[in-house]
Amino acid sequence: MLKRTVQNIGGVYPRTCSVCGFKGYFSAFGNPPRWDALCVKCGSLERHRQFKLFLDSHPEVIGDTLVHFAPEPAMAELLRRTGCNYRSADLFQPADLKLNLENLDLPDESVDTFILFHILEHVDDKAALSELRRCLKPGGHAVIMIPIVEGWQTTYENPEVTTPRERLLHFGQVDHIRYYGRDFRERVLAAGFALDEYTCDGEQTVRFSLSPGRTVFVATKPQ
């Protein structure tokens, strides 16, 4: 069974997609491949399915105006269905808005919700968090997911690591500039946010094929 599923569809166990409702074998994704990572119907990955579970229990995080950075198709469709004023944003790829996260071309207090999945590890996060806070309305939310090593007390950064090859070795991807440790929380709080966290349990992790222990961070601008 393992040989058949890996060779044919890259999946090992039947799973359920929380985003589109598909039930069956997912596909492998990534390098090295993560088995059962990619929903073959909607293209969701582990973080997208976890966000959907979070959204089901916390629909209030979606305000009237929402900006979604580096929009993944599965997430863009999901967020549009919430009925909010949805706008995608990217600095390099086609999107509704061309925005630099470190210097947002948006008015103060103009956005209810920002969505950022695996974005902050690419940029100057101090500048980005400051800009997110500036542009959020009081009580607004920035919903954030990042690669984080919970066993590390401090974030690993190295300004001498500059080439794609070096970044792949040190940070796991050619365009990453850090691996976050537990002090990510301190960075968010220092930027003036309140912070909440959402993590799925073991049964959800197995059923929906999630990354064990990953966290949805919700940074809220005080009223």
> Burial letters for 7-26: b for 16+ Cβ neighbours within 10 Å, e otherwise?
eebbbbeebbbbbbebeebb
What per-residue confidence (pLDDT) applies to 3? 40
Give pLDDT tens digits for 44-58. Answer: 999 999 999 999 999
Spans of the chain, pLDDT less than 70: 1-9
What per-residue confidence (pLDDT) applies to 32? 83
What per-residue confidence (pLDDT) applies to 67? 98
Full-model pTM: 0.91
Phi and psi (nearest 5°) for 48?
-70, -40
- Tokens at residue 179, please? 């691996």
- Between CA 89 and CA 79 the distance in angstroms is 13
Give pLDDT tens digits for 115-153. Answer: 999 999 999 999 999 999 999 999 999 999 999 999 999
Query: CATH 3.40.50.150 residue ranges in the chain?
Result: 47-220
Tell me yes or no: is domain 47-220 CATH 3.40.50.720: no
What per-residue confidence (pLDDT) applies to 6? 38
What per-residue confidence (pLDDT) applies to 74? 86
